[in-house]
Amino acid sequence: MKKEELHLFIIWEKARHLESQILEKIESNFEILQIYDISWSPYLVGFNYTRFYGQKLPKNSHKAKHCGSGEFKLILVCDNTPVYGNRLRYKKEVFVNTKMFDLKLELRALTGGGHRIHGTDNVSEVKHDLMLLLGITVDNFIKNYSERVNDIKINRDLSGTNGWKSFQELFNTLNECQEYVVLRNQENLYEDYYMANKGDVDILVKNKTEASYILGDLNGIEENSQHLEVAINNKIVLFEVYQYGSIFFQKFESDMFVNKVKTNEVWHLNKEMEKIAYIYHALLFNSKVKLKHIANLKKNFHLFDNDQMKL
């Protein structure tokens, strides 16, 4: 696949009585690569819907009743000749893969309207959905794909719904789902460090709402908590999630994203920007500069050495 694009459709449970017709229409427009039958844990259906769509959809919500709580079908397709253009979505013009967008609307009409059919219409959405649904990246799927196998049965909740196995799993998922940058202490991203030091992980994201749902602390989101409690390897690690445009000068925040670097699959600030951001944090987020900030600036950035500066 070069210019081709990977996309996906979901036939939620309440539309599966028409799946033969739906699959026929999909296959007449795209090459079907793989088909999965996926079941979520019954008591976690609302949690999975909520995290997948990034909005509160509790158990027995309208979404669950409308789309179903049982086994659903995931169809991965290849669009060999993608075409992009503008379409109206919720009265707003969006730039999308028009073939995917138009077929999704056609299939929704076939199933009586509503949203019993889900379909991706841009590359970012594919990366998000595939990582949450199957825990794999688009690149890895394409790299390892060999031949079509229909109706692979999977019992699996969304990545992170039952907590994260490790920081690596969490950040591998964030890499596919949300643009972010870790603001400091990226070298200490392991559970024991945060348990011992009672610290938190500070990240700047392009969309705080989406990132928060991916991390998975729904109570913290609902309570508008400053810190989200994220389960990693059966331990709670606090995450402070900052919205792009809210904590620094916006030009500086833009530069953070443009110049971010990746180490061990985690995007973080380069050393110079980390220093500036840390000084900003130490001076402006506190009425008095704390000793721990001075110690960190000395250790990591060699400031205040030989009493060069005093606060």
Chain Cα centroid distance, residue 4: 23
Q: Give the whole-angstrom CA distance, residue 261 versus residue 275.
A: 14
Q: What is the Cα–Cα distance from 256 to 188, expressed in whole angstroms?
A: 20
Q: Which of 17-21, 52-56, 257-261, 297-301 has the lowest mean pLDDT?
A: 297-301
The DSSP symbol for 39 reads: E
Q: Which of 55-64, 98-107, 262-271 has the highest mean pLDDT?
A: 98-107
Give long-range contacts, CB 8 A cutoff, 24+ apart: 301-310: 301/275, 303/275, 303/279
Map out the domains of the chain with their CATH numbers.
Answer: 5-155 (3.30.70.141), 167-269 (no CATH)
What's the CA gap between 286 and 273, in Å, rounded?
20
| Packing angle of the helix pair 45-53, 208-215 (nearest 10 deg) | 150
Q: Tell me which DSSP letter residue 69 carries.
A: S
The pair of three-digit structure tokens given for residue 4, joined into one six-digit string: 């081709």
Distances (CA, A) of 270 to 254, 260, 273: 13, 6, 6
Among residues 141, 27, 24, which one has the least CA distance to residue 77?
A: 27
The pLDDT value recorded for residue 290 is 52
292 contacts 299 by C-beta, under 8 angstroms: no
Lowest model confidence (mean pLDDT) among 49-58, 234-243, 292-301:
292-301
Which of 10-24, 148-162, 195-209, 293-307 shows the highest mean pLDDT?
A: 10-24
In the chain, where does DSSP find H-type helix? 19-29, 45-53, 62-67, 98-110, 123-134, 138-144, 167-177, 191-197, 208-215, 218-222, 250-258, 271-284, 291-301
195 or 114: whose pLDDT is higher?
114
| Residue 48 in this model has a pLDDT that exceeds 70 | yes
Across 182-198, average pLDDT: 77
Give the predicted TM-score (pTM) of the model: 0.87
Binning pLDDT at 50, 70 and 90, where does residue 308 land? very low
Q: Which residue has the tokens 């792009």?
A: 244
Among residues 98, 71, 68, the alpha carbon closest in space to that of 82 is found at 98
- The pLDDT confidence band at residue 309, using thresholds 50, 70 and 90, is very low
> Given pLDDT bands bounded at 50, 70 and 90, which one contains residue 302?
low
What pLDDT was estimated at residue 310?
44
Mean pLDDT within 220-249: 87
pLDDT of residue 113: 92
Specify the amino acid at residue 276: I
Q: How far is it, in rounded angstroms, from Cα 173 to Cα 136? A: 9
Nearby residues of 68 by Cβ (< 8 Å), 6 or more positions away: 12, 13, 14, 15, 16, 116
Could you tell me the pLDDT band of residue 122, with boundaries at 50, 70 and 90?
very high
Which of the given ranges, 12-16, 209-213, 235-239, 288-292, has the highest pLDDT on average?
12-16
**What is the C-alpha to C-alpha distance for residues 241 and 59, in angstroms, rounded to an integer?**
26
Average confidence score pLDDT of the chain? 87
pLDDT for residue 219: 87
What percent of the chain is predicted at pLDDT more than 70?
87
| pLDDT over 70 (residue 175) | yes
Given a contact cutoff of 8 angstroms between Cβ atoms, the answer to whether 70 and 15 are in contact is: no
Q: What pLDDT sits at residue 74?
A: 98
Q: Could you tell me which residues are beta bridge partners of residue 230?
A: 237
**Long-range contacts of the stretch 126-129 (C-beta < 8 A, 24+):** 126/5, 126/6, 126/7, 126/8, 127/176, 127/177, 128/176, 128/177, 128/178, 129/8, 129/52
**Highest mean predicted confidence (pLDDT) among 54-58, 75-79, 303-307:** 75-79
98-112, 253-267, 283-297: segment of lowest average pLDDT: 283-297
pLDDT at 285 over 80: no
Span 145-171, pLDDT tens digits: 999 987 899 999 999 999 999 999 999
Q: Are 148 and 33 in contact (CB under 8 A)?
A: yes
Residue keyed to tokens 């964030």: 174
pLDDT at 1: 42
CA distance 281 to 250: 15
Q: CB–CB of 186/174 below 8 Å? A: no
- So what's the pLDDT on residue 284? 61
Q: How is the chain split among helix, strand and coil, in percent rounded to 5?
A: 45, 25, 30
